[in-house]
Amino acid sequence: MKALRILLIGVAVLAVVLAAGLGIAWMLTAPVGLPEGSESAARLAPGPYSVGQVELVWVDRSRPTAENGEYPGSPERTFPVALWYPEGVGGQHPLAVYSHGFMSSRHGGSYLAEHLASHGYVVVSADYPLTHARAPGGPNFLDVLHQPADVSFLIDQVMALDAADRPFEGEIDAQRIGAFGLSLGGLTTTVVSFDPELRDPRVAAAISIAGPADVFGPGYFDHAAIPFLMIAGTSDAIIDYELNALPIPDRTRRGGLVSIAGGTHVGFDQIAAGAMRLLGNPDGVACSAAAASAGDAESAPPENAFVGLFGTPEQGLLEPTDYRPGCTRTFEQAVAAGRQQMLTTLAVRAFFESQFAGGPESRADHEAFLTRTLPAELPEVSYTPSRR
């Protein structure tokens, strides 16, 4: 009995030591807050409305889901959906559709959705059938071909909700619909906003967050006269910043590029600000996990995977002469994911509000914050406007 007591005491002491160590690590990896009294800090605060959220399942019976590995496919496309909205607020609301990244989920942009909803937006996001983390047969990036139409379906569904079925009060303003997404979701957003055949003309503003973009030439962005913002991290080890984000200002007519010095790829996803931050650079963690499962990851994008996927050179698509595969470069500088998400939140809302806010003065105020104040107050952020 004495030996057992000693063993139990030892286990208890070890548990306390481990808990203390984790607590210290949690504090050491906490993101640095924004400057006290700054406009950025004030804008990061939640908006005036409490946020409601519902989980739904919507089915598009007009389009199939392809066979994928051991998954036999389906004659329809099924979407687990998350919907965020301001509680108790009537009138007309802008709608924003968030598209998740490869192997992520509809909750990957929760921090952005909650912030926008607190300022009066309705935000919808869905698990896309074959690119989310638990896709049947394994995530398959090629199903991105169908995701622009998925975005249109989500818009249709929200717009079709009658007053009795809407979890939110009021209705959607059809003139204020935005699309945004991360990584493969950023690619989806670009296509649904600008593609000559696949674009949805209801999308009035678009944001790609670290999305692949090296295949989109200047002519591609001329198919729609809407503003486009790229948000990207300079330390992105998965989607190369220099090849995908840096050229955007020279290819677009309206909008620009928000660069986050030390920003990583996975750092834009909700998951990176949780317990994952204890493991170090989130891109390194993701790349290590990908390497460990490389033998089973036949669905991962191969070199120059997006060349020719959505169209031809005559439609504004490029065939890049330079390609840097993901997870082959390392970066010493990496901003904490929590802070990266603070900066992203500020940029996303300011951009949408510069298009959708109530009046011209308010829209100009949000544009000035995005283009001048945000970079002036926060050293990691720079803004480059479209130059065409």
Tell me whether residue 8 is in a domain: no
Would you state the pLDDT for residue 196?
96
Tokens representing 360 are: 């011209």
pLDDT of 41 over the 50 cut? yes
Show the domain range for 214.
47-302+327-385
The token pair that represents 364 in the structure block: 């100009």
Gap between the Cα atoms of 258 and 229, Å rounded: 7
Confirm whether 139 is domain-assigned.
yes
Q: How far apart are CA 334 and CA 346, in angstroms?
A: 19
307 lies in some domain? no
Structural domain contains residue 249:
yes
Stated pTM of the model: 0.90
Residue 381 lies in a domain: yes
Q: Is residue 194 part of a domain?
A: yes
**Domain assignment present for 151:** yes
Q: Classify 129 as helix, strand or coil.
A: coil
Tens of pLDDT, residues 128-166: 999 999 999 999 999 999 999 999 999 999 999 999 899
In this predicted structure, the answer to whether residue 115 has a pLDDT above a threshold of 60 is yes
Sorted by sequence, the CB contacts under 8 Å of residue 231 that are 6+ apart come out as 207, 208, 209, 210, 257, 258, 260, 268, 344, 347, 348
pLDDT of residue 46: 97
CATH code where residue 245 lies: 3.40.50.1820
Q: Outline where the chain has alpha helix (H).
A: 2-28, 39-44, 110-118, 147-160, 184-194, 218-221, 241-244, 248-251, 282-292, 337-356, 360-368, 374-377
Domain count, the chain: 1
Which of 48, 46, 141 minimizes the C-alpha distance to 89?
A: 48
Q: Is residue 211 part of a domain?
A: yes
Using DSSP, how many helices (H) and how many strands (E) does the chain show? 12, 9
Distance CA 104, CA 127 (A): 8
Are 310 and 197 contacting, i.e. CB atoms less than 8 angstroms apart?
A: no
Please, which pLDDT band fits residue 301 given cuts at 50, 70 and 90? low
